Amino acid sequence: MTNWYDPYHQHYPQYRQNSHYVPQPQAQPEGFRQPYGTSFAQFRPIRPSTQDNLILPRGFKYDIVATWGEDMGNGEKFGFNNDFNCYFGKNPNEGLLWVNHEYIGNLGIFVTGYKEEEGAPPRTAEQIAVEKYNVGGSVIHIRKDQGGNWRIVKASTYNRRITANTPINLTGPVKGHAEVGGASQVTGTFGNCSGGKTLWNTAMSGEENYEGIVKDWSENPEVPGLNVTHYGWIVEIDPADPHSTPKKHTALGRFSHENAAMTLGKTGKVVVYSGDDANDQCVYKFVSDGVYKPELGKQNSSLLEKGTLYVADMGATKWVPLDLEKTPKLKEKFKSQAEVLVNTRDAAKLAGGTPLDRPEDLEVHPRDGSVFIALTNNTKHGNYYGQIWRLFEDGNDAESTGFSYEVFAVGGPQSGFASPDNLMFDQVGNLWVTTDISSDKLSQGAYKSFGNNGLFMIPTEGPNKGIAMQFASAPVQAELTGPWLAPDGETLFLSVQHPGEETEDVNNPTSRWPYGDIPRPSVVAISRQ
């Protein structure tokens, strides 16, 4: 059996951002033409585009690794609206890829034939069954073929779907508690946005916008009802074990998890950072009670079952524990730790957590341990362009309860990007950012100059520190998500999510990427030609 162990020197996963940098050749900083430490990061920035194509710098190409509805070779089909990607394996030419499938939404007209519009009847039971299958995630065994193109290994026993119907175990303080109806196992996962990679080589997937999906499905009396408290957690999946049961780790709190970025504190405790992707929500971190022991391998998963969840108070620059005993104020409203975790948002506000402008991806810098936070936007506050913050833990220790922070980059026409979303670091510490301008706002009003959504590289040190350079432009109404580098840094896996999202007429889609017929979300592999 292939050994999929991947040393924990590459644990920087998802990332997004916006696009608008218009490079002027005569004004380009000299560093734009210089190496950045990896061959992948050497490119000439592109201009914003409104083309219905995935645009890359000269000298780069992409091939489609997997596309919606593709046969995985075992009777399963690749799901819809792929988001986060996470590569497993030491071999840069063959490995396993975990892929999130977030939601169906307006593009249900292609998936189920259902058109979302005012006054439309609820989805039928049959339509909901198709929708439930197409969300969740996929494990795919991928390999470069003789032509150098990445493809699914169709006969592989690793190929697997996790859907809204898959049994998933609960762990931690909420398991079996009345707050979740006494459940120790729940049905399915959905709303899977971004995620992360554990030190013991499993995938973490964040359940984000789950409430609307639960409501939509519950409108049909023929569909079994769902307990909303069973969703909104971090899910752990073991891609290397096709027979394993995924876990939802309740100790990490319940909210709209964008991602989960794991690192180690100075005493060896596991620390997981996560953002709550909604207006006026907070940033969190979990610190395990126990310490990480590499020799225990995947048994270290139990570290995510017991520890302290903190919320960030940006004014006091303190991490506030969401723990009944450590923060007695929580006892004014909550009677048990399980109740605190199920209602994390309410507990965070009561404890003094700072509401922010859509905190999405958090990632840990591989060189200095600082934490980068993507704040996408908050139009209610007049913040249309978003920011990227950089947080420094006291003593450079992820276990610390104090920190400082700075505004690393600000979106807007002056910087060339808007609405930063997913973040990723390459091996030398360059920040890669995808953007998430809403598909119905692209190239309009405040977003007129940015064109389609994009992928940007921003150096975090050197003469071009903080300068955004556009690497990719998405097809029409698409969002680029889940960037992840292969171990050698020579292949970038990237999701092209919801192309043609504003389509109203199935016979006249607003995008025909990638094959010229209907829009199909797909995962691509980008490399030098």
Q: Does pLDDT of 506 surpass 70?
A: yes
Q: How far apart are the first and last CA of the chain?
A: 32
Neighbours of 12 (CB within 10 A): 26
In order of 70, 110, 377, the CA distances from 476 in angstroms are: 22, 16, 21
Residue 353 lies in a domain: yes
Residue 103 lies in a domain: yes
**346-382 per-position pLDDT tens digit:** 999 999 999 999 999 999 999 999 999 999 999 999 9
Q: Does pLDDT of 510 surpass 60?
A: yes
Q: Does pLDDT of 5 surpass 70?
A: no
pLDDT at residue 400, as a whole number: 98
Which residue range forms the structural domain that includes residue 507?
Answer: 25-528
DSSP 489: S
- Mean pLDDT, rounded, for 506-513: 97
Helices (runs of H) and strands (runs of E) counted in the chain? 5, 30
pLDDT at residue 428, as a whole number: 87
pLDDT at residue 118, as a whole number: 86
pLDDT at residue 38, as a whole number: 59
**403-450 per-position pLDDT tens digit:** 999 999 999 999 999 999 999 999 889 999 999 999 999 999 999 999
Residue 11 lies in a domain: no
The most distant pair of C-alpha atoms in the chain lies apart, rounded to whole Å, by 65
- Band of residue 6 on the pLDDT scale cut at 50, 70, 90: very low
Q: Average per-residue pLDDT in the chain? A: 92
pLDDT at residue 77, as a whole number: 98
Counted domains in the chain: 1
**67-116 per-position pLDDT tens digit:** 999 999 999 999 999 999 999 999 999 999 999 999 999 999 999 999 88
Q: CA–CA separation, 105 vs 128, rounded Å?
A: 12
Residue 16 lies in a domain: no
Residue 238 lies in a domain: yes
Residue 176 lies in a domain: yes
- Mean pLDDT, rounded, for 491-500: 98
State the number of CA atoms in the 13 A half-sphere of 498 facing the CB: 24
In order of 8, 217, 240, 289, 474, the CA distances from 269 in angstroms are: 15, 40, 25, 7, 39
Q: Does pLDDT of 24 surpass 80?
A: no
Q: Between residues 16 and 138, which one has the greater pLDDT?
A: 138
- Mean pLDDT, rounded, for 454-465: 95
If you search the block for the tokens 């690393």, which residue do you land on? 408
What are the DSSP calls for 69-101, one per residue?
T-B-SSS-B--SSEEEEEEE-S-TTEEEEEEEE
Q: CA–CA separation, 470 vs 454, rounded Å?
A: 7
Residue 323 lies in a domain: yes
CATH classification at residue 341: 2.120.10.30
Q: CA–CA separation, 355 vs 257, rounded Å?
A: 15
Least confident of 24-33, 385-394, 505-514: 24-33
Least confident of 116-130, 162-176, 387-401: 116-130
- Mean pLDDT, rounded, for 197-222: 96
Q: Could you give the percent of the chain with pLDDT greater than 70?
A: 93
Q: CA–CA separation, 44 vs 36, rounded Å?
A: 12
Helices 125-134 and 211-218 pack at an angle, to 10 degrees, of 150
Q: CA–CA separation, 503 vs 346, rounded Å?
A: 37
pLDDT at residue 14, as a whole number: 27
Q: Does pLDDT of 155 surpass 70?
A: yes
**27-64 per-position pLDDT tens digit:** 333 333 333 345 677 899 999 999 999 999 999 999 99
- Band of residue 122 on the pLDDT scale cut at 50, 70, 90: confident
- Band of residue 401 on the pLDDT scale cut at 50, 70, 90: very high
Residue 80 lies in a domain: yes
